[in-house]
Amino acid sequence: MKIFISIASYQDPLLEATIYSAYNNADNPKDLIFGICDQSTSPLDISSFEFSDQFKYEHVDPINSEGPCWARSRIQNKFNNEDYYLQIDSHMQFEKNWDAYLINYLERIRAINLSSHQLPIITCYPRAFNVVDLKEGKFELNNNEIRTDAISYRKDSMFIKENFSRQIGSIATQEISHGYLIAAGCLFSLGDFVKEIPYDSDYYFYGEEISLMIRAFTRGFGIFHIQSLPIFHLYAELTNIERKLHWNEDEDTKRDIKWHQREEKSINKLKKLLNDEIAGVFGLGASKSLKDYEYLSGIDLVNKTIVDEEKAFTAKFISSLPWNESPF
């Protein structure tokens, strides 16, 4: 059972460590296919990897990069009907047997004979790790606490740009919980996700996760959070390792289209999406409605209204729903 791993990397010194961690800690490393868009000044030496035959690698000069959604869209073009799809950031670490762990949870959810469980997405903002010594490949995983990481809306950042709101991690009280938001830097699903919800390269940064989520939600995908997800993320505020961002001025000034122009286009695209003005694969689906989403999340995305604060800003409501039943 093959897993296609999508890694969009922008001048990230931890890309190589991320790849090795995924491979070395997998239960079935030979079943991994790495789709990589490496936006950097110096390409990886692919020949140095013993498993380079499992790479679908592309190097892009940072000046020619058009942002994270553009990069993830290019990676998905390399997808070849693998059984599962894992999308991660390029600064991650993995626990032993992470692949079997995720597959077991995904198939456990799919074993529930309900339409809401047949197309599951497992996602969260993962637990953190610390870099002890990057050159030596030594990392410290924050895996002492057993918990189910969920995602809620961030109360102080609602509708800060039209229909866009920020998201934040929250804690669910069940081993498995329903959810209503997606973390683009850590999601696991069937390979069907790529076919049904291909990345829309019109988005830049703001709008990426909400647009991806609502397109999936309205097509019948179910969002789930699981206990002790075995992947860890390096958060910028917890490290002094420098990592450039796409909108850094020294590079953005060299581009014909500036980051703020891409962001404006992204926000406008999100507005059109939520107003159901986009047809086809990049528009809304027909399996679930925005009213269904409002019930689950407490948010009216179209009218930019908070309907239920407890639902929107905590995991209390989704934690109260039996995971093995429909949330509706």
Instruction: State the pLDDT at residue 247.
Output: 77
Instruction: State the pLDDT at residue 226.
Output: 98
Output the domain CATH number for residue 229.
Answer: 3.90.550.10
User: Is position 325 within any domain?
Assistant: no
User: Is position 108 within any domain?
Assistant: yes
User: Is position 223 within any domain?
Assistant: yes
Domain with 18 in it: 3-320
Instruction: State the pLDDT at residue 246.
Output: 80
The answer to whether 50 and 123 have CB atoms below 8 angstroms apart is: no
Task: Using the structure block, give the residue that is written with the tokens 């996700």.
Answer: 193
In angstroms, the CA 171 to CA 18 distance is 25
User: Is position 314 within any domain?
Assistant: yes
The answer to whether 89 and 53 have CB atoms below 8 angstroms apart is: no
**Strands in the chain per DSSP E:** 3-10, 32-39, 55-60, 84-88, 92-94, 120-123, 127-133, 138-141, 148-153, 167-172, 176-178, 186-190, 222-226, 231-233, 299-300, 305-306
The CA–CA distances, whole Å, from 325 to 181, 219, 302, 311, 322 equal 18, 18, 28, 18, 6
Mean pLDDT by 10 residues, the chain (328 residues): 97 96 98 97 94 97 92 97 98 98 98 96 96 91 93 94 91 97 98 97 92 98 98 87 78 81 90 95 97 97 96 96 96
In angstroms, the CA 180 to CA 54 distance is 33
Instruction: State the pLDDT at residue 182.
Output: 97
User: Is position 201 within any domain?
Assistant: yes
Nearest to residue 187, comparing CAs of 125, 100, 276?
125
Instruction: State the pLDDT at residue 36.
Output: 98
The answer to whether 17 and 137 have CB atoms below 8 angstroms apart is: yes
Instruction: State the pLDDT at residue 255.
Output: 84
DSSP-derived letter for residue 227 is B
Cα-trace Rg, the chain: 19
User: Is position 127 within any domain?
Assistant: yes
What's the total number of domains in the chain? 1
Nearest to residue 218, comparing CAs of 188, 182, 165, 183?
182
The answer to whether 37 and 9 have CB atoms below 8 angstroms apart is: yes
Instruction: State the pLDDT at residue 13.
Output: 94
Instruction: State the pLDDT at residue 163.
Output: 87
Half-sphere exposure of 88 (CA within 13 A, CB side): 26
User: Is position 328 within any domain?
Assistant: no
User: Is position 327 within any domain?
Assistant: no
Instruction: State the pLDDT at residue 194.
Output: 98
Nearest to residue 152, comparing CAs of 300, 313, 317, 292?
313
Instruction: State the pLDDT at residue 239.
Output: 80
